[in-house]
Amino acid sequence: MAGETEKKKIIFSGVQPSGNLTLGNYLGALKNWSILQDEYNCFYCVVDMHAITVKQEPASLRRRTLETLAVYIASGIDPEKVTLFVQSHVSAHAELAWVLNCSTMFGELSRMTQFKDKSAKNESNINAGLFTYPVLMAADILLYQTDLVPVGADQKQHIEIARDIAERFNNTYSPTFVIPEPYIGKTGMRIMSLTEPDKKMSKSDENANSYILILDDKDTIIKKFKRAVTDSNTVVRYENGGGIANLLNIYCSCTGKTIEEAEKEFEGKGYGDFKLAVGEVCADSLEPVRQKFDELIKDTAYLESILKSGAEKASRQAYKTLDKVYRKVGFYKLPR
């Protein structure tokens, strides 16, 4: 069925192995990835080169790279259907990023909110990689001639700059890149911190109560939801905003219910009952992932075999694009 695969639209997405994956990564990214895998030709990557824009302990980064792959598969992503690989295994990512760096403006990178947020959090390590992160992300996407990028709403600005970079290159030279579109799922688009609901849930947050990890056990999940910040109201309504809107969003993402249905279900009930219910449905959704992960992580040989064939498959597509780019910018090519 190779012909059919070729005709499918292309998807690229990735998660950084910069910490243990959170409920935000699961609902904002992984859940959508597995929904899309039948319909599209998907490249799902563990983006380790992005992770080193923030200081990483080498042994932990190495371990988490394999764990992130195991979480992908445990979340329902099927290695038989999609291409799974590690970013640093396909050097075309770094090579294309350099070319694109040379046509990306300092001013446009200065406007990226993630750069502003992360440099405020890492004052002692505001490195050039953190600044050019969106260019590497553009290279990730454009190498695969990606049509659609499933991401949480927090990444929308990065997709916009990838589109600008691609359009600029196409206009300067000639059509080279497909212009990618963001795909943002209906629910789970932006899961907020449980302790500071105006901030997104983030795996590198220093406060472990602010996030739910995909691999947290049921007791921990329930405890964290019990402590979640709400507001001084007592009525479970989305319009109350803040923590309650976030918990409703999580509840609906886990159950498939609409906000109206959930509000009705909790009419006349207090925040205590509601938080417990959110904890229960969240723990139930994550339990099968945790069980599958425990099995997979023991089988290093299996995980490595997936990464090996994934890197080969990804490289074929990536180098096709990179060759084209090198030719267009005028790099001298030796005869074979």
Using the minimum distance from each CB to ligand AQP, give the nearer residue, 46 or 314.
46
Kindly state the smallest distance separating residue 171's Cβ from ligand AQP, in Å: 28
Tell me which of 64, 200, 224, 275 binds ligand AQP, using CB under 6 A.
200
Using the minimum distance from each CB to ligand AQP, give the nearer residue, 163 or 203.
203
Output phi, psi for 3, to 5 deg: -60, -45
- Residue 254 as a binder of ligand AQP (CB under 6 A): the answer is no
Nearby residues of 266 by Cβ (< 8 Å), 6 or more positions away: 236, 273, 274, 277
The span from the CA of 293 to the CA of 301, in Å, is 15
Kindly state the smallest distance separating residue 183's Cβ from ligand AQP, in Å: 10
- Residue 190 as a binder of ligand AQP (CB under 6 A): the answer is yes
The span from the CA of 332 to the CA of 39, in Å, is 39
Kindly state the smallest distance separating residue 14's Cβ from ligand AQP, in Å: 6
Using the minimum distance from each CB to ligand AQP, give the nearer residue, 166 or 191.
191
298 is annotated as an active-site residue: no
- Residue 29 as a binder of ligand AQP (CB under 6 A): the answer is yes
- Residue 34 as a binder of ligand AQP (CB under 6 A): the answer is no
Nearby residues of 67 by Cβ (< 8 Å), 6 or more positions away: 17, 20, 293, 297
- Residue 182 as a binder of ligand AQP (CB under 6 A): the answer is no
7 is annotated as an active-site residue: no
DSSP label of 215: T
Which one is catalytic: 31, 200, 224, 275?
200
Using the minimum distance from each CB to ligand AQP, give the nearer residue, 63 or 327.
63
Using the minimum distance from each CB to ligand AQP, give the nearer residue, 157 or 170.
157
Q: Encode 12-26: b = buried (16+ Cβ within 10 Å), e = exposed.
A: bbbbbbbbbbbbbbb
Which one is catalytic: 7, 199, 203, 218?
203
118 is annotated as an active-site residue: yes
Sign of CA dihedral 105, 111, 113, 116: positive
Which one is catalytic: 118, 223, 264, 333?
118
Q: Where are the alpha helices (DSSP H) in 144-258?
A: 156-172, 218-226, 242-255
The span from the CA of 64 to the CA of 161, in Å, is 28
Tell me which of 33, 66, 74, 152 binds ligand AQP, using CB under 6 A.
152
- First-residue to last-residue Cα distance in the chain: 32
Tell me which of 151, 159, 311, 322 binds ligand AQP, using CB under 6 A.
151
Q: Where are the alpha helices (DSSP H) in 150-210?
A: 156-172
Residues of this chain that interact with ligand AQP (CB under 6 A) are 15-16, 18-19, 22, 24-25, 28-29, 151-152, 154-155, 190-191, 200-204
